[in-house]
């Protein structure tokens, strides 16, 4: 009985240590989530303004043409997949990777029909284990990524569409709704379907509207990729905070159950000792 009680006490201490760790990780994730939300929200006005200018040019210039605005026959598709470098975030990575693999299985019969760009170590390792070809990868992003951190992969993804390496480009990421909800999303980035906006602003372009569009459209696409990365970071911290909160609650439940078992075992041990003392006293009487 004493041996069993020692094992229960050891298990209780182990779960208490685990609870301390998961609670600390939950608090850290909550702190990082607030910063990530602020970063995602602060990036939106810039993207909105770019869309306004691009839409104004596209709507106000007759016969304007650009590869990023033109739909063509789809022979090959590009996917830019955004995951995290670390785990312990519930279904954050699994959900988005399951989503992109479902898309690939549904739309493509061979690896020659698609190309993968991936952000995050979890996504990179997932695709490498399945021998899925990766054109370019970025890992080791900070908790507060800057545009320069993903500039190379964003520019490469856009440039490969422009030069005809593939005929459409999709973003696959977790769209942040709140700390409890992150939605795995497949969003077509290129060709751009709707850049038209209602605006009363009048713009003059130098040297020409087409020249400005040539520069702004790639920047706008890269900005949308960066916004998705920031959204993904907020989703990651929200998912991690939720997962650690759940782990803390489970640890608390296990501690309560083990404590109840320990008290019962201790009570049984005391009862047995009393019974032995009484039996001994009766024998000596």
CATH assignment at residue 164: 3.40.1380.10
Sheet holding 77-82, edge to edge: 134-138, 114-119, 77-82, 168-178, 181-190
Map tokens 């598709």 to a residue: 77
What pLDDT score does 253 carry? Answer: 94
Domain that holds residue 60: 26-242
Spatial CB neighbours of 256, under 8 Å, sequence gap ≥ 6:
none
Residue 140 CA to residue 147 CA, distance in Å, equals 14
Give dist(CA 233, CA 40) in Å, integer: 9
Label the pairing between strands 181-190 and 168-178.
Answer: antiparallel
CA 50 remoteness from chain centre: 25
Q: Is residue 190 part of a domain?
A: yes
Q: Which of 142, 106, 141, 149 minimizes the C-alpha distance to 124?
A: 141
**Does residue 236 lie in a domain region?**
yes
Q: Is residue 278 a part of any domain in this protein?
A: no
How would you write 29-77 as a 3-class SS string?
HHHHHHHHHHHHHHHHHHHHHHHHHHHHHHHHCCCCCCHHHCCCCCCCE
In a domain, 17, yes or no: no
Here the tokens at position 1 are: 């009985």
Q: Residue 52: its pLDDT value, please?
A: 77
Domain presence at residue 152: yes
Q: How far is residue 243 CA from its own chain's centroid?
A: 13
What span, in angstroms and rounded, lies between the C-alpha atoms of 247 and 245? 5
Q: Which of 94, 122, 90 is nearest to 250 (CA)?
A: 90
Both tokens of residue 87? Answer: 């785990």
Q: How many CB atoms lie within 10 A of CB 20?
A: 12
User: How crowded is residue 85: how many other Cβ atoms within 10 Å of its Cβ?
Assistant: 19
Element (H, E) at 169: strand 168-178
Asked if the structure places residue 7 within a domain, the reply is no
Looking at residue 217, its pLDDT comes to 86
Q: What is the pLDDT, as a whole number, of residue 64?
A: 63
Q: What is the mean pLDDT of each run of 10 residues along the chain (285 residues)?
A: 76 93 94 91 82 72 70 92 93 95 93 95 95 93 93 94 93 91 92 64 67 83 93 94 94 93 83 74 66
Is 255 domain-assigned? no
C-alpha 281/C-alpha 240 separation (Å) is 61
Peptide bond into 60 cis (omega under 30): no
Contact (CB, 8 A) for 174 and 92: yes
Q: How many domains does the chain divide into?
A: 1
Whole-number pLDDT of residue 68: 80
């Amino acid at each position: 009985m004493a041996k069993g009680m020692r094992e229960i006490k050891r298990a209780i201490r182990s779960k208490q240590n685990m609870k301390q760790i998961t609670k600390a990780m939950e608090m850290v994730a909550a702190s990082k989530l607030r910063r990530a939300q602020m970063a995602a929200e602060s990036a939106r006005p810039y993207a909105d303004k770019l869309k306004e200018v691009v839409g104004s040019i596209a709507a106000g210039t007759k016969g304007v043409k650009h590869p990023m605005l033109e739909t063509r026959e789809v022979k090959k598709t590009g996917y830019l997949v955004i995951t995290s470098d670390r785990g312990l975030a519930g279904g954050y990575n699994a959900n988005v990777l399951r989503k992109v693999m479902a898309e690939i299985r549904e739309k493509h019969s061979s690896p020659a029909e698609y190309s993968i760009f991936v952000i995050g170590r979890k996504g990179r390792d997932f695709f490498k284990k399945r021998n899925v070809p990766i054109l370019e990868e970025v890992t080791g992003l900070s908790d507060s990524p800057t545009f320069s951190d993903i500039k190379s992969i964003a520019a490469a993804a856009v440039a490969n569409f422009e030069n005809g390496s593939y005929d459409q480009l999709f973003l696959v990421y977790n769209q942040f709704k709140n700390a409890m909800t992150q939605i795995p999303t497949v969003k077509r980035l290129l060709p751009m379907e709707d850049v038209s906006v209602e605006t009363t602003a009048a713009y003059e372009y130098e040297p020409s509207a087409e020249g400005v569009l040539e520069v702004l459209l790639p920047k706008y696409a890269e900005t949308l990729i960066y916004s998705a990365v920031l959204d993904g970071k907020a989703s990651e911290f929200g998912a991690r905070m939720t997962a650690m909160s759940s782990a803390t609650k489970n640890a608390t439940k296990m501690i309560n159950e083990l404590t109840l078992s320990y008290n019962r075992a201790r009570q049984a041990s005391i009862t047995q000792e009393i019974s032995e003392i009484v039996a001994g006293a009766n024998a000596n009487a």
